Chains A and B, each alone.
Chain A
Amino acid sequence: MKINERAQEQLELLWILSEETSNEPAASPGQLEDYRELVEAGLVILDGERVRLSATGKHEAAMAIRRHRLAERLFVDVLATDDSLIDEKACTLEHALFDGVDETICTLLGHPVVCPHGKPIPPGRCCEQGRASLSPIIAPLKDIKRGQGGKIAYLQMADSQRLHKLMAMGILPGVSIQVKETYPSVVFEAGYSQFAVDDEIAGDIFVRLAG
């Protein structure tokens, strides 16, 4: 089922309000009319003045958020778009990421789990299957094979302690690395130094693969 772009954005807003803030979404009687399409599609339930996502609505909304945040990642990591343009561009692009295109991009980007703003990206089927059939452009360090390498694209920053350690050792975006060993610990070379990290830390380092 495909709904129009405005309805998708309404879904995204409702999702952010209900999942990422503690606000209970409410709408004035005048606005209720706006939700008609979503209500008819069974995605939104009106409960007096309250607006709630139905179970399918929640899923649809999560997928819409996912498309938006994947689009942001694509602009930041691959297309190196200027920060000020990202929001606008992502809003346009997200509406094109249907029919499996979202999964292709997600796989290319190494199944990222946070957007450039640090908000979580809801996982899709491709993430759950850990799909890597086509060769990704960006991959977390833990998934890179021995002998492969590239430049660090970004670091995941959810854990500030771990981020701090990486920064202290000079592991920052733009640094070229090469994987020497993957088990029992990930060993990589950066400049003329070698580092060993565990899988958790290696999962925080996303690398733009060379060649």
Chain B
Amino acid sequence: MQNILTTVQANTTAPRDKGSAACHQAPQIDLDGYPLVVIVGSPNVGKSVLFNRLTGAYVTVSNYPGTTVEVTRGKTRLGGQEIGVLDTPGMYNLLPITEEERVASAILLNERPAAVIHVIDAKNLERMLPMTLQLIEAGLPLILAVNLMDEAELLGICIDIPALEQRLGIPCVGAAFASGRGSPEIRHAIEARVNLGRLAVKAMPGLVDYPGELEAAIQQVSELLEPGYPIAQRGMAILLLQGDPETLNQINNCQPEGADAIRRALADAQQIYRQPLSFVIANAQRQSALRIIGGLFKVNQPARSTFSAQLSNAMLRPLTGIPILLLVVFLLYEFVGVFGAQTLVEWLETHLFENWINPGIDGWLAIWVPWPALRSLIGGDFGVVTLGLRYAFAIILPIVGVFFIAFSIIEDSGYLPRLALMIDRLFKKIGLNGRAVIPLVLGFGCDTMATITTRTLETRRERVISTLLLSLAIPCSAQIGVMLALLTGYPFLLPAWLAVVSGVFLLVGYLTAKLMPGEKPSFYMELPPLRLPRARNILVKTYTRMEWYLREVFPLFIAASVVIWLGNLTGLFDLAVHALLPLVRWLDLPDQTAVAFLFGFFRRDYGAAGLYDLRASLSASQLLVAVVTMTLFVPCIAQFAVTIKERGWKTALGMAAFIFPFALLVGGALNTFLQWISFGK
């Protein structure tokens, strides 16, 4: 654990936007001055497993393209030398599509690593080698790790690694990092590479055969580039010809005088071909990859149909896929809603806090702390320990922890992409694509974390829509836990609440998609094979997420307790409650619910818990109105802060300005409707 030096938020690491793009600086080292090794590759090839093997550190090992939201750094010791290691989000090639891929390629192109390890899937050598070729042509100090050799061998695939090494002209290692195979070899290769120092790799002549005119254009553009860019001129030229806007930006910043000539050369080159140059280049790289693996990639037996393949097929068809989805939701409910939110919470809250800790604290305070104000800061109804810590440890921790365990299992099994393809058509109606199901499902655990994950979506429109829906209509697990306990007291309340909230989710999504102009979303996704989750990975991931949760969200908890204490002490709270009273009365709710709504500003679940305490004085219809309004009500402070950070002030305030009155409006409409049908009277 101590090996994780820093976990850098992806969007703050080496941004490639204009102004900060690297021209001539040469940091070949990580933050602490060690030589830096960067691990790159497509999603699901075992980058994070290799990272763990190298550093022994615990990081999130993802089976899903897009959930490695953060870039993780660690360090290792090779041949008596400290070496920094950096794990990047998955990317398919050097031209990024999503923000995450942009981060990965920015790290590669700007950080000047001492070694780059490209991890690829042995089974898909043909499809992954073009990126290796791009990296070689970029002059990066590359080592190729052909991972998942064990999976490939099960399929009868045989790869001649020494021949591959010879043809590519870079060190290649055959590996199955999950079982440790190839680890010593890769360490050795890194050590050798780091000792070479800053010597750039030169691509062997003719490694990639581009058509004649294109090759001429590559050379022409390379010659127009000044030396000193972080990657080789040839690699820069190829990126420029592929139309990479960020590389062009970099040129504009670093050699403004020469930029015009370069742009002209690019336009001239495009004139020669009827297809986009990026396509011509991709084709040439693929043909070269095929030539290179010719004769060294053999398949000795046809693939067999396994149980996991059959299960996967069943998940792809609505007829079997929807029952599987319902089963997953049911199991999730049983595990999180019943086991976590009821059994565990009951035990921790009633036994641990109410019987032991709270009376103990209050008793201790009564004896040792003579000042009532300080006493009420720590203990009593709203104290930091008796309220803040109790909520955090007895309610939130078990529910959120259990949810994260369940989410990690679902994630590692490879089910999420299959869920995404099943739900894509519905999501298109609300301006999203199937991929957005990941942040939204994660939102049921923690909306704050999910808001950060919306980064993996491609267009700004999709990011805004999903952030809005997370703020409005996705209750987090802490809130759901309390609400389930509230709603199961009466029949029909739970389905009614579900119907109203999902209705609002779809309606608001649909209207936002209609009102917000922008690109139509498109859905494409690689489906990783279904894999049996490994217990160690699940625990590590859950631990990492819990650690994040405690670090990012927990302090706000305590802060909220202090604010509530201050508010009570100064009488500001009474003012705020008075301001809320007309709204609460308009919803036909008792005055005390104003306090719960006020708490809802601080934490979604505080609000729900406040209602829970009032449940005896509420009728069934009042309960439904209150819970629906509370669900839709403003996001918690942590989520709002993250929304500002991710989407900007204007968007975040705009969302709040919409959500607050809208939640009350839905509550009011629901109340009117319930009275009209005389529900619960």
Please report A residues at the B interface, Cβ cutoff 8 Å. 116-118, 155, 157, 160-170, 172-175, 180-181, 183-185, 187, 190-198, 200-201
Contact = CB atoms under 8 A, between A and B. Distances in A.
Instruction: Report, as a range, how many residues of chain B touch the other chain.
Output: 35 or more
Contacts of B312: 194
Given A167-B282, A170-B130, A180-B316, A187 B527 contact: yes
A165 B276 CA distance: 14
Contacts, number: 122
A88 B525 CA distance: 41
A157 B276 CA distance: 8
Nearest to B287: A174
Contacts of B318: 183-184
Contact of A172 (B95, B286, B422): B286
B25 to A, nearest CB: 29
Given A169-B526, A192-B123, 20 more contacts: A157-B279, A160-B278, A168-B92, A169-B92, A169-B524, A170-B130, A172-B286, A174-B286, A181-B313, A183-B318, A185-B425, A187-B316, A191-B124, A191-B127, A192-B121, A195-B524, A196-B421, A196-B434, A197-B525, A198-B425
A200 B522 contact: yes
B127 A193 contact: yes
Contacts of A184: 318, 421-425
A167 B269 CA distance: 20
Interface string B493-510: 000000000000000000
B283 A173 contact: yes
Contacts of B152: 192
B126 interface: yes
Contact of B278 (A167, A173, A187, A191): A167
Nearest to A190: B127
A164 B97 contact: yes
A51 to B, nearest CB: 29
B519 interface: yes
A160 B97 contact: no
A185 B421 contact: yes
B93 interface: yes
A141 to B, nearest CB: 12
Contact of B155 (A163, A192, A201): A192
A195 B274 contact: no
Contacts of A163: 276, 278-279
B28 to A, nearest CB: 28
A58 B316 CA distance: 47
Contact of A198 (B155, B243, B316, B523): B523
Interface in B299-327: 303, 312-313, 316-318
B417 interface: yes
A40 B264 CA distance: 48
Contacts of B423: 184
